[in-house]
Amino acid sequence: MTQIHDALLDVAQQMADAARAAILPHFRNSALTAENKLDGGYDPVTIADRAAEEAMRAVLADLRPDDAILGEEFGAVDGTSGLTWVLDPIDGTRGFVSGTPTWGVLIAVGGPDGPEIGIIDQPYIGERFIGTPKAAWLHGPQGQAPLQTRAARPLAQATVFTTFPEVGTPADAAAFADVASRARLTRYGMDCYAYALVAAGQVDLVIEAGLNAYDIQAPIALIQAAGGIVTDWQGGPAHNGGRVLAAANAEIHAEALAILAKHA
């Protein structure tokens, strides 16, 4: 399996490189425009989203043509290998169009039970967070370093993140607020970068709702490789999306899960 994972990681890295090249010319470009995919709200998509996913799919067509693909912008393609690549070319497009470097390219690959390899790539900063069954590490401007989630601490001393203050439904928001009110620090709006910070040992919890598979599979593989836990709000698998709890360790996961379960 080690050789297979090494080969898959090499492909994933080539995909991340291709996505970087497709995205960066558009970031903080005054000519960038965005279309809105959401009636009654704002869910932008840009030329950079589509170009990045097309670039990653081109790598797969060349190197892994028998694998399935699930991508945010161009949907699902069946495969015959038993492996599926799950792609979000720009997770955090709202941040992208606002000029904040909190968005990222999400790449995951695995089988029906979830991802085995995950990458969160932040092209503008030049940080690539990588999780595999063997290890988790960061390659960035200061070189390469291993990743390890935070040691256990009480929720009262924890830092909690979510992307939107409203989280999801009113019930979802109430559940999040119950956890956040007991934490030391709550922060918002970091998109996928919050999950990277869990893996890097900077953040204790990320709590979100209404996610798709392409939003969470790369963070799952990364955080688990760094020693953390990612489940749904009932403690079950989260790789299909929905309500997600990402935790630095088993102790704080259990504490947060007990609170969220009261709102199920």
DSSP H or E run through 202 = none
CA 212/CA 116 separation, integer angstroms? 17
- Residue scoring higher pLDDT (2 or 186): 186
Q: How confident is the model at residue 77 (pLDDT cuts 50, 70, 90)?
A: very high
Q: Quick check: 58 pLDDT over 70?
A: yes
CA 84/CA 11 separation, integer angstroms? 13
Q: How confident is the model at residue 41 (pLDDT cuts 50, 70, 90)?
A: confident
Q: Quick check: 105 pLDDT over 90?
A: yes
DSSP H or E run through 48 = helix 47-63
Q: Each residue of 239-251: pLDDT tens digit?
A: 999 999 999 999 9
- How does DSSP assign 109-145, residue by residue? EEETTEEEEEEEEETTTTEEEEE-SS-EEEEETTEEE
Tell me 215's DSSP state: H
Cα-based torsion angle of the residue sequence 173, 179, 181, 182 in order, rounded to the nearest 10 degrees: 180
CA 70/CA 258 separation, integer angstroms? 32
What phi-psi label fits residue 40: left (phi over 0), alpha (psi between -120 and 50 degrees) or beta? left
**Percentage of residues of the chain with pLDDT beyond 70:** 100
Q: Please give the model's pTM, rounded to 2 decimal places.
A: 0.96
Q: Quick check: 1 pLDDT over 70?
A: no
pLDDT score of 168: 86
pLDDT score of 38: 78
